[in-house]
Amino acid sequence: MPLKTLRKVNIFYYNYKPDILRNFRRRIQFHNILINMYKTKTIHDRVWIVEGRKAFVVGTSFQGIGNKFSFILDIPNVDLEIFNLHLEKIRIANNSRH
């Protein structure tokens, strides 16, 4: 998705390296993109979902993008529906902690 149309990024993480997030924020800082972060142990950074309607599994971690040869595969819609339900539970749990 081009940065011209990207408006929001939801990041589900357990542990992350601050320098990776800092680099990511630096790259998008002038594009008015909202970043929401949700702490969880149950989601891996190799699943990307676009507007809740299209999903991909990525063969490298967020940290490895651009550093390693990898792949991107579509996730079937039935699996995406289940995944979205799980993500909503995580969002609710994170919001109730604040």
What is the reported pTM? 0.70
Buried b (16+ CB within 10 A) or exposed e, 34-57: eeeebebeebebebebeeeeebbe
Contact 32, 60 (CB under 8 A): no
Residue from 80, 56, 81, 58 nearest 69 by CA: 58
Q: Please write the tens of the pLDDT for every residue from 48-96.
A: 888 888 999 988 876 777 787 888 899 999 999 998 999 999 989 888 7
Residues in the chain: 98
Region 35-53: mean pLDDT is 83
pLDDT the model gives residue 82: 92
